[in-house]
Amino acid sequence: MPAAERFALYLSKHRLKMTRERRALLEHVLSVRGHFDVDDLLRRLGRTGHRVSRATLYRNLPVLVESGLIHKVEMARGQARYERMVGRHHHDHMVCLGCGDILEFESPEVERIQEEVCRRKRFVMTGHTHQIRGYCGSCAGDGRARGKER
């Protein structure tokens, strides 16, 4: 099912309307490659003539997350970045607390261990988010990570 149709169905199910702002936000979110934050979206929307307020973005990004079209990556100090999930496969993240880089990774071993733990605990997993926070090689090398171990 196309993303716009999927989002419209989600909105209808939750008694929400497909507003002009939501449509513009959806189009921009689906066109972004990589991770983005609210400021990135405001700039992109502004460049194309769409007038969407910061408050509107903060109200609607959770709706897009709940619909499954985007994923929220928690950053340091309460900040968040997002990524589109449409047309992407599952992956996990390493978030650098020094520079803010987000490194994506896939690990069949990690997936296998998670499934095994769920099986042993008789837990039916419907999905998961795996995020490792720490320091990338550059930040660890320049001393930013010193004294900040768990």
* pLDDT tens digits, 26-57: 999 998 888 999 999 999 998 988 888 999 99
Q: Which residue has the higher pLDDT, 141 or 103?
A: 103
Nearest one of 84, 76, 78 to 101, comparing CA atoms: 76
pLDDT band at residue 67 using 50, 70 and 90 as cut-offs: very high
pTM of the model: 0.75
CATH 1.10.10.10 assigned to domain 1-88? The reply is yes
| pLDDT for the residue 147 | 56
* Pair type for strands 70-74 and 80-84: antiparallel
Q: What is the per-residue pLDDT for 38?
A: 94
At a CB cut-off of 8 Å and minimum separation 6, what does 90 contact? 106
Range(s) for CATH 3.30.1490.190 in the chain?
Answer: 90-150
**CATH, range 90-150:** 3.30.1490.190
